[in-house]
Structure 1
Amino acid sequence: MCRLLGYLGSPVQIDQLLCQPKNSLVVQAYQPKEMELALMNADGFGIGWYHPEKETFPYTYKQITPIWSDLNLTQISRYVEASCWLGYVRSATPGLAVDLSNCQPFTSEGLSLSRPLLFTHNGYIDQFRKTLYRPIRLSLNDDVYLHIHGTTDSEHIFALILHQLYTQPKLSLVQAVETALNQLSDIAQAAGNVFFCANIVISDGQQLVASRFASNAKAPSLYWLENDPNYPDAVIIASEPLFEGNWKRCPEQSIIRVGEDGTVNTYQVAPRCYS
């Protein structure tokens, strides 16, 4: 399990949200308040951001050390100013390696999509290597299959979304996420009703799309905050509130979209029926 953070709005220095708040992502790494299946998030961290003016692939900075021990992060996050960025701290799923290839955010760099993507995931697939590792890979087209560099359940969930966008270019990002979640549910059901959690924050640099979703399990916490007095033209999505404010809890089995103009829409994912 992990803790996630996404921002879309007027440009800010990343450290204002990553490091400075009372319950910043740095604090959530060693003292999370709402994480039930682990005590700490000390197996690495990452940030990813889009250039506020240039159309380029997003930039990432990742490490496999605890976020609080990285002396460079405070300098980098204070230097980088971005209007769209993601962050995460990792608590590795048992049995999955702690190395840079497994460190988020993941990107779509190398694939021909309409817009480059950043992706983070908080959750797990039960006994992933034994249950859904092979079925997920069998469902992917060749280019997306070859795009997987690590071994995590998180990257394979990202691959399901990439597969939808790659094979159906007209899908919106919300549609691709919903279709991928439904596909994951179908694969899990066919493999013996495997349970999983899939809290996601994904972006193409112009919008944020997030999910709070689980199958046969309780979904991890996820919140959003819009037009806070300190961030009047922004929306923040986070696993836990970073500071006092009018945070709203994302409903379970839902997808939230933050548009380029800051408009927030939520969508319920229709339950799957299996006979």
Structure 2
Amino acid sequence: MCRHLAYAGPAEPLGDLIMAPPHGLYRQSWAPRHQRYGTVNADGFGVGWYADGDPVPARYRRAGPIWADQSFADLARVVRTGALLAAVRDATLAGADAEAAAAPFAAGAWLFSHNGAVAGWPGSLAPVAATLPPGELLSLEARNDSALVWALVLARLRAGDDEGRALTETVLEVAAAAPASRLNLLLTNGSTVTATTWGDTLWYLSRPGGGTVVASEPYDDDPHWREVPDRTLLTASRTDVRLTPLKDPGGAAAPALGPTDAFVSAKEPRT
């Protein structure tokens, strides 16, 4: 469906996180190693990043494959950031929204991506969509499931929920309305990264020099990458990662996390 990545840590070029790694997001656009649904992510891509002193992120999005955009390759070589969210897209359904359908979606300081698909779209979420104000529905950036899921998350954020609660409540609401949906959500505000696993893969890397990477799959073979269990909420800062099991709407809880999985600090020595 897509591959996505978020980073918070010391500033470095976009390309060091997206283009340069041997199995980075750039290569995942045509040769992912852990993708369970779909094989080629060529239906658009996007990157959002934060500049020093500006809480509102910039975005670069295109409707075509990332490997065909030489302008982005040049930009990624020189633009540095301490936080980003990037995604390459494999569209669930063909549409006319072009780059507007490509993550990351944005509002204020937030960047958002959805890896997965809503089962039975669009009919399955009609009752859920009706809970949003008409103005928000009419102003959706794209007519796809990810844009509506983002609208549901954003409504909760604007109502005062923190990032973890906003993602959790949205996943549970959508999963109850549309069972068998895949809802790996990724959100950053430039300082923290929040994500869910619900039907697809997610990994994280706490780097010893500072910085946390959260991604659909590892971008290299560093043995310190850790896979996040399904049905889990991940909350990460530049130094710490916390994992919390999510409860299925049907009443079943995710498998309990081990004590070493529940909390990881990048400041601690790693073996």
Q: How many angstroms apart in 2 are the aligned matches of 1:94 and 1:271?
A: 26
- Structure 1 residue 183 corresponds to structure 2 residue 163: no
Aligned residues: 250
What's 2:269 paired with? Answer: none
What's 1:113 paired with? Answer: none
State whether residues 212 and 251 of structure 1, in contact with CA within 8 Å, keep that contact through their aligned partners in structure 2.
yes
Question: Could you tell which deviates more after superposition, 137-146 or 198-207?
Answer: 137-146
Matches within 5 A, 1:1-275: 1-55=1-55, 57-97=56-96, 99-109=98-108, 116-132=109-125, 134-166=126-158, 168-169=159-160, 171-188=161-178, 194-213=179-198, 219-228=199-208, 232-245=209-222, 246-259=224-237, 261-273=238-250
Identity in percent: 26
Q: How many angstroms apart in 2 are the aligned matches of 1:201 and 1:130?
A: 24
Q: How many angstroms apart in 2 are the aligned matches of 1:35 and 1:186?
A: 24
Aligned to 1:128, the other structure's residue is in SS state coil
Q: How many angstroms apart in 2 are the aligned matches of 1:244 and 1:84?
A: 22
**How far 1:262 sits from its partner (Å)?**
1.9
**How far 1:34 sits from its partner (Å)?**
1.3
State whether residues 227 and 235 of structure 1, in contact with CA within 8 Å, keep that contact through their aligned partners in structure 2.
yes
Amino acid across the alignment from 1:238? A
Normalised to the residue count of structure 2, the TM-score between the two structures is 0.87
Alignment deviations for residues 133-157 of structure 1 (CA, whole Å, 9 cap, x no partner): x223202134533441211111111
Aligned to 1:266, the other structure's residue is in SS state strand
Amino acid across the alignment from 2:214? I
Aligned to 1:233, the other structure's residue is in SS state coil
State whether residues 124 and 198 of structure 1, in contact with CA within 8 Å, keep that contact through their aligned partners in structure 2.
yes
Amino acid across the alignment from 1:249? E
Alignment deviations for residues 66-85 of structure 1 (CA, whole Å, 9 cap, x no partner): 10010101111112111110
Q: How many angstroms apart in 2 are the aligned matches of 1:68 and 1:100?
A: 15
Alignment deviations for residues 12-49 of structure 1 (CA, whole Å, 9 cap, x no partner): 10100100011011110011111122120011100001
State whether residues 97 and 143 of structure 2, in contact with CA within 8 Å, keep that contact through their aligned partners in structure 1.
no
**How far 1:220 sits from its partner (Å)?**
1.3
Aligned to 2:29, the other structure's residue is in SS state helix
Amino acid across the alignment from 2:39? L
**How far 1:257 sits from its partner (Å)?**
0.5
What's 1:216 paired with? Answer: none
State whether residues 46 and 62 of structure 1, in contact with CA within 8 Å, keep that contact through their aligned partners in structure 2.
yes
Normalised to the residue count of structure 1, the TM-score between the two structures is 0.86
State whether residues 48 and 84 of structure 2, in contact with CA within 8 Å, keep that contact through their aligned partners in structure 1.
yes
Instruction: Note closer, same or farther for the CA distance 1:130–1:142 as it changes in structure 2 (3 Å cut).
Output: closer
Amino acid across the alignment from 1:69? A
Root-mean-square deviation (Å): 1.6
Amino acid across the alignment from 2:8? L
**How far 1:98 sits from its partner (Å)?**
5.4
Amino acid across the alignment from 2:169? T
Aligned to 1:131, the other structure's residue is in SS state helix
Amino acid across the alignment from 2:118? I
* Structure 2: 5+ residue stretches without partners: 252-271
**Structure 1 runs, 4 residues or longer, greater than 3 Å off:** 95-98
